[in-house]
Amino acid sequence: MFGLSACDDIDDFTTSPNNLLTFSTDTVRIDTVFSTVPSSTRDFWVSNRSGKGLRCTSVRLEGGNQNGFRVNVDGVYLSPEQGYKANYIEVRNNDSIRVFVEVTTAVNHGDAPKELNDRLVFALESGVEQKVVLNAWSWDADFARNKTITTDYTITAGKPLVVYGPLTVEEGATLTIAPGATLFFHDGAGIDVKGRLVCKGTAEQPVTLRGDRLDYMFDYLPYDRMSGLWYGVHFMEKSYDNRMEFTDLHSAFNGVRVDSSDVARQTLTIANSTIHNCQGHALYVENSKVTVENSQLTNALNNCLGVEGGDVLVNNCTLAQFYPFDSNRASALNFSALKHPLQQFVCRNTLITGYSADEMMGGKPVKDATSEDAAEPNAFNYQFENCVIRTPEVTKEEEKPHFVNVVFEEKENADSVCTNHFKKVDGDKQDYDFRLAKTSVAIDRADPATATKTDRNAMPRDERPDVGAYEFKEEKTEEPNPQE
């Protein structure tokens, strides 16, 4: 912490009670912090516009250190040795000093966050005391540091779990995350799955996997809306029969990465889940068998869904690429067979859209015509049925059978403006609601025979189901009371 030195002009100092300090805020809010974990630093300015110089006989924490606040006033730390106060602080006329505030709270011995308040008291030579409120919320949590799971283990709801370093599930072990559980991952932390992971969320009690920053970057922007706050979930080569259901995973680097494995065995099923706002891929599948259903894969610097070989089924999903932090973002969907055979990639009743004119990329392998001994290219089997895709319409006859009842969004088509699909796309505040708006062409476009019976939020689909993860619901407006 540091302060700005006052100017060198010699001022007349006054002890009049009419001359007062002014503050850039009356309350310093540090939001919610985990108990025993230091907060980020807040600051505010103390200014003197009274016409005369002012001296504080003391600046002190009213509650001492009962609530864990730490304060530095103009470069002077309010230390325990000094009784949590600083003496004889000068603020010259038309000058300012800076104050820095942090907090590390004690354990609360409860599940709910606890509000903490203190006041920073500026005692002027006149006898007047001016006060600034210090406010924070303290939340007890359990902590996992470089934890390895070697036998079956369940993380339950209740206290949040803060994860530092890798949370490793060894081969032969199953980690179950119970309904309502929330895991907060520190920078660089994540889950490495060599065994099995089961996220057993429900519509009423989802599992949440997110970063551990609870504070705000700006007044309107919580850190939780930033990308790359933690590592993500990594399924390794010998990991099978994993399931993520009603899981909200957001603000990771790679949300979920699946390594190459035996394509004859199911590696991962994702259902009724969200993977959002990732600095790498949202979901990347390499040569594995994966099913994704009723799920939202949105906003990634790399692809929202990247598939390299394997056997992948996607049904009633929303793939939307509105990543706000870099204009060089990749596509909503990229599937290829450049490294591994694409045994099948089947995409049904799915909405694929974004800012770009073309949000779908495919990497078809080609035989090396310059070599007589060149191997045949990898299999490249794909099928799109009853989808809405932001990509130019297919014109090659050999490709048309791969696209059945597909609506191709053309950028020039005013009826298919990408943001018109959704209730909210606010890149400035990183605030999104990917439920369908009534202007979306995805409404009533799914195939009743293959569409899911309920949507991402477990709401029933009607007899003419919609493309994407969410079934459109007309929001009811309150009827005016005729008696009023």
Q: Confirm whether 407 is domain-assigned.
A: yes
> Are 44 and 186 in a shared domain?
no
What is the 3 state secondary structure string of 173-220?
CEEEECCCCEEEECCCCEEEECCEEEEECCCCCCEEEEECCCCEEECC
pLDDT level of residue 158 (50, 70, 90 thresholds): confident
Closest by alpha carbon to 280, among 338, 320, 326, 335?
326
Residue 437 sits at φ, ψ, to 5 deg, of -90, 160
Query: Which conformational region is residue 251 in: left (phi greater than 0), alpha (psi within -120 to 50 degrees), or beta?
Result: left
Tens digits of residue pLDDT in 227-260? 999 999 999 999 999 999 999 999 999 999 999 9
> What pLDDT is attached to residue 219?
84
Q: Which residues contact 300 (CB under 8 A, 6 or more apart)?
A: 227, 255, 277, 278, 279, 280, 281, 282, 321, 323, 329, 330
Q: Which one of 359, 392, 419 terminates a domain?
A: 419
Which residue(s) pair with 426 in the sheet?
Answer: 431
**Contacts within 8 Å (CB) and 24+ apart, 366-375:** none
Bridge partners for 259 per DSSP = none
**194 pLDDT more than 70:** yes
Residues 132 and 149 grouped into a single domain = no
| Cα angle: 124, vertex 127, 128; to 5 degrees | 70
Q: Which residues does 484 contact at the CB level (< 8 Å), separation at least 6?
A: none
Residue positions counted in the chain = 484
Q: Give me the CATH number covering residue 88.
A: 2.60.40.10
- Run of H or E residues at 269: strand 266-271
Q: How far lies 185's CA from each of 31, 158, 212, 278, 297, in Å?
A: 18, 16, 5, 14, 20
Examine residue 415 and state whether it is found in any structural domain, yes or no.
yes
> pLDDT band for position 5 (50/70/90)?
very low
| Closest by Cα among 322, 368, 329, 349 to 444 | 349
Say whether both 49 and 154 belong to one domain: no
Is-contact 200 207, C-beta < 8 A? yes
Q: What is the pLDDT of residue 7?
A: 47
- Quote the domain boundaries for residue 191: 141-419
The answer on 310 and 394 residing in a single domain is yes
d(CA 71, CA 66) in angstroms, rounded, equals 13
CATH number for the domain that contains residue 270 = 2.160.20
What is the CA angle 143-224-241, rounded to 5? 65
What pLDDT does 288 receive?
98
- Residue 467 falls inside a structural domain: no
Residue whose C-alpha is closest to residue 84's, from 54, 106, 64, 114: 64
pLDDT digits (tens, 9 = 90+) for 311-358: 999 999 999 999 999 889 999 999 999 999 999 999 999 999 999 999
263: DSSP letter: T
**For the chain, how long is the longest CA-to-CA vector?**
98
Domain-embedded: residue 430: no
Q: What span, in angstroms and rounded, lies between the C-alpha atoms of 434 and 295? A: 11
Q: Are residues 133 and 172 in the same domain?
A: no
Provide the pLDDT confidence category of residue 419 given band limits of 50, 70 and 90: confident
DSSP 284-327: EEEEEEEEEES-EEEEESS-SEEEEEEEEEEES-EEEE---S-T
**Number of domain units in the chain:** 2
- Give which of 259, 272, 348, 264 is closest to 311, Cα–Cα: 264
Answer yes or no: do 193 and 328 share one domain.
yes
Q: Is the domain of 100 the same as that of 76? A: yes
Is the separation of the CB atoms in 309 and 337 below 8 Å?
yes
Residue 280 has pLDDT above 50, yes or no: yes
Question: In the predicted model, what is the mean pLDDT of residues 106-111?
Answer: 91
Whether residue 412 lies inside any domain: the answer is yes
Reported as a pLDDT band with limits 50, 70 and 90, residue 310 is: very high
Q: Which of 119, 138, 157 is the last residue of a domain?
A: 138
pLDDT attached to residue 477: 57
Min mean pLDDT across 73-77, 263-267, 366-370, 445-449 is at 366-370
Has residue 12 been placed in a domain?
Answer: no
On whether residue 448 sits in a domain, the answer given is no
Which of these three, 419, 447, 466, is where a domain ends? 419
7 falls within a domain: no
Q: Residue 414: pLDDT above 50?
A: no
**Cα distances (Å, whole numbers) of residue 150 to 77, 236, 287, 333:** 46, 15, 26, 36
Contact predicate 422/437, CB 8 Å? yes
* Same structural domain, 89 and 116: yes
**Cα 111 to Cα 138, 157, 159, 205, distances in angstroms:** 10, 10, 6, 17
Distance between CA atoms of 97 and 100, rounded to whole angstroms?
10
Q: What is the mean pLDDT of residues 371-383?
A: 76
Taking only Cα atoms into account, the Rg of the chain, rounded to an integer number of angstroms, comes to: 28
Task: Output the pLDDT for position 217.
Answer: 87
pLDDT beyond 80 at 123: yes
Task: Count CB-CB contacts under 10 A for residue 405.
Answer: 13
Instruction: Kindly state whether residues 31 and 178 are assigned to the same domain.
Output: no
117 and 205 inside one domain:
no
Distance CA 438, CA 13 (A): 66
Q: Are residues 133 and 272 in the same domain?
A: no
Q: Is the pLDDT of residue 415 over 70?
A: no
- 475 has pLDDT over 80: no
322 and 387 share one domain: yes
Q: How confident is the model over 6-46, as pLDDT tens digits?
A: 444 456 899 999 999 999 999 999 989 999 999 999 999 99
* Mean pLDDT for the chain overall: 92
